[in-house]
Chain A
Amino acid sequence: MHIVVCIKQVPDPSQARIDRETGLVIREGVDKIINPYDLYALEESLRLKEAHDGQVTALSMGPPSAEDVLKDAVAMGVDHGVLLSGRDFAGADTLATSYALALAVQKLESVDLIICGKQAADGDTAQVGPGLAANLDRPHVTEVRKIRHIEEDKMVVERLTDTGYEVIRLSLPAVITVVKEINEPRIPGLRGMMRAKKAQIPAWDAEYIGADPQRLGLKGSPTRVWRTFEPTRHGQGEMLRGTAGEQAVLLWEKLRGRL
């Protein structure tokens, strides 16, 4: 079976800072990492590959630096990495991103399953997985916490919901997005790192995947950021004083009025 994992390079969220003057995210000097959720997507693809004798392709759309996350993926054990890169792709919202990723998936040979992370740590939208499925005209299941089994052209998964979970059987090919509960990602070994060092990551452009440039990048994005600003903070909080008992009573006096 052929599995595609979609991975995104994001600025390290623990270093996220905002320029107070412009209200924009500061990108300079911030480390770029693989989107944390995508590690679970990668790990799940490798487990399926081991169990079902398949191959895994990692796919990322981004600037040339995104090659780094694809090399990380190779170090973990994926067979190939593919980078979608070029000026046409820049400034894409989730609609333009899922369109481009869908064309790249169609360029690959007989893909059975596509795994995405639940959401990306920069935008937190969780839209690309379902959008990718819609573009491919295939089903999707979000927030998968377990793959129970794969039968011929179907698979059975558990999906986390707001109140519990659901067990769903869906037809393949399909897209799933995964949550942290699904597995424990492996740490790349020395062999993997060596392989990653030598790996060639092909870069595909808009023409190669046969994309309509009008549907890519900023041009293909219906949503526009109109303005950005810093959220209003809670202000300087109040530290309560006294013994444990005194603080507890004081807190309850303050909260009671608000609830």
Chain B
Amino acid sequence: MEMQLEQTERGVWVFVEHRKGEIAGVVLELLNEGRRLAKQLGEPLACILLGSSVVHLSSDLMEYGADEVYVADVPEFDTYRDDLYADALEYLIETYRPKIVLIGGTSNGRSLAPRVATKLKTGLTADCTEFDLDDEGNLLQTRPAFGGNLMATIRCPKHRPQMATVRPKVFTEAKRETGRAGKEILVELPELNPWMEILEVVDEDAVGPNLAEADIVVAGGRGVGGPENFQLVEELAKALGGAVAASRAVVDAGWINYSHQVGQTGRTVAPKLYVACGISGAIQHLVGMQSAETIVAINQDPDAPIFSIATYGLVGDVKEIIPALIKAIKS
């Protein structure tokens, strides 16, 4: 299906995810990277804002770098929902024809983007960590594959828009420029066709900050010794201002719930700092965290595989090292 490119497509779009009236961190990261691409193309940077009573966010988005903000403010968009959000985004893309669409690689973004890309019969690259433009202005989209063992650069040369989800925490957030203005476009949507009802949205008392968006992650493995000792991991996370994670062995043992599991059958995280306490470093765990910028491993076995990817390795008992580390941090 090679369609003729008319090159009428213009602009870089950022999909605005928001929660409880606040713009998600990943959106500010996308605005920074989107700004850079838009500048290189000499085209505008626009935001797509879908929600209920969210119009006030559009001036914030302009201060963070958006030249244009397309707003659809309707009561049905009260909470994020795949069916209506996907229909609306598909409609807006078809109507206004952007060249590039960037969506945060959050749980919502990873659900929304493929539905929209499929409807538009265009390409979508998942969890990008780097962007560039080639000589013809095609987006070069780099992403980890095979659990981070391989990097691949993907192009979508013959279809528009070029769509990508972007891993949170990879790009730095855009800086706010107070007073920066842009154009607000209030859009009318065609009649929407609901397929689902959101009965309940539950925020679980996560231990510490949200794992997907944390700069610092402290993870505990079976080597921590037991559910009582797992508190040590939580205390260290608190001292560092980080989120708590765990290996599968710990989740299976029931010391902490599944939403904290990192690895092949859990979450993928790429924080600035990952501290692995009593984790052996099985490949299934490594694929979920090896893209972290700095990795600290604490393990009593000097031959544990985790040390092969660690920036700093500490050999010893977590029950001694963690309290000493907390003391050092607090002093």
Residues of A within 8 A of B (CB): 13-14, 16-18, 23-25, 36-37, 93-95, 98, 121-131, 133-135, 138-143, 145, 156, 160-171, 174, 179-181, 214-215, 219-231, 233-234, 237-240, 243-245, 247-249, 251-252, 254-255, 258-259
Contact = CB atoms under 8 A, between A and B. Distances in A.
B312 A254 contact: yes
B151 A230 contact: yes
B158 interface: yes
30 contacts: A13-B283, A18-B149, A23-B150, A95-B124, A125-B126, A126-B126, A130-B113, A134-B114, A140-B82, A162-B210, A164-B201, A168-B196, A169-B197, A169-B199, A170-B195, A222-B121, A223-B154, A226-B140, A226-B153, A233-B309, A237-B295, A239-B307, A245-B324, A247-B314, A248-B327, A248-B328, A249-B324, A255-B312, A258-B273, A259-B273
Contacts of B124: 94-95, 127, 223
B122 interface: yes
B154 A123 contact: no
Given A139-B196, A224-B156, A255-B273, 16 more contacts: A121-B264, A124-B147, A128-B114, A131-B115, A139-B83, A164-B201, A169-B196, A229-B150, A237-B308, A239-B307, A239-B314, A244-B320, A248-B324, A248-B325, A251-B314, A255-B296
A95 B118 contact: yes
B253 interface: no
Given A14-B283, A239-B313, A252-B325, A224 B118 contact: no
Given A140-B82, A140-B115, A237 B202 contact: no
User: Sorted from nearest, which 4 A-B pairs have the closest CB atoms?
Assistant: A222-B123, A139-B195, A248-B324, A244-B320
Contacts of B284: 13-14
Nearest to B3: A222
B151 A229 contact: yes
Contact of A168 (B154, B197, B295, B313): B197
A16 B290 CA distance: 14
Interface string B252-280: 00000011010011101000110000000
A220 B122 CA distance: 10
A156 B156 contact: no
Contacts of A160: 107, 258-259
B311 interface: yes
A4 B295 CA distance: 41
A121 to B, nearest CB: 6
A170 B196 contact: yes
Contact of A139 (B82, B113, B199, B259): B82
Given A223-B125, A237-B309, A259-B272, A228 B328 contact: no
Contacts of B121: 95, 222
B295 A234 contact: yes
B185 to A, nearest CB: 26
A94 to B, nearest CB: 7
A129 B112 CA distance: 11
Contacts of B46: none
Interface string B129-169: 00000000000100011111111111111110000000000
Nearest to A23: B150
Nearest to A182: B258
A124 B265 contact: no
A158 B258 CA distance: 14
Nearest to A99: B118
Given A124-B127, A162-B106, A251-B296, A234 B153 contact: no
Contacts of B195: 138-139, 170-171, 174
Contact of A179 (B258, B283, B324): B258
Interface residues of B, number: 96
Contacts of A36: 264-265
B1 A215 contact: yes
A142 B320 contact: no
Nearest to A224: B155
A162 B211 CA distance: 8
A228 B150 contact: yes
B194 to A, nearest CB: 9
B6 interface: no
Contacts of B321: 244, 247-248
A224 B307 CA distance: 35
Given A37-B265, A133-B115, A214-B1, A164 B202 contact: yes
Given A122-B145, A252-B328, A244 B316 contact: yes
A3 B153 CA distance: 36
A18 B111 contact: no
A95 B1 CA distance: 11
Given A13-B147, A16-B149, A228-B153, A240 B313 contact: yes
Given A130-B82, A248-B321, A16 B283 contact: yes
Contacts of B272: 258-259
Contact of A156 (B122, B199, B202, B316): B199
Contacts of A139: 82-83, 195-196
A220 B150 CA distance: 24
**Interface centre among A13, A162, A163, A228, by most B CB within 10 Å?**
A162
B145 A123 contact: yes
Interface in B178-201: 195-201
Contacts of B317: 244
A45 to B, nearest CB: 18
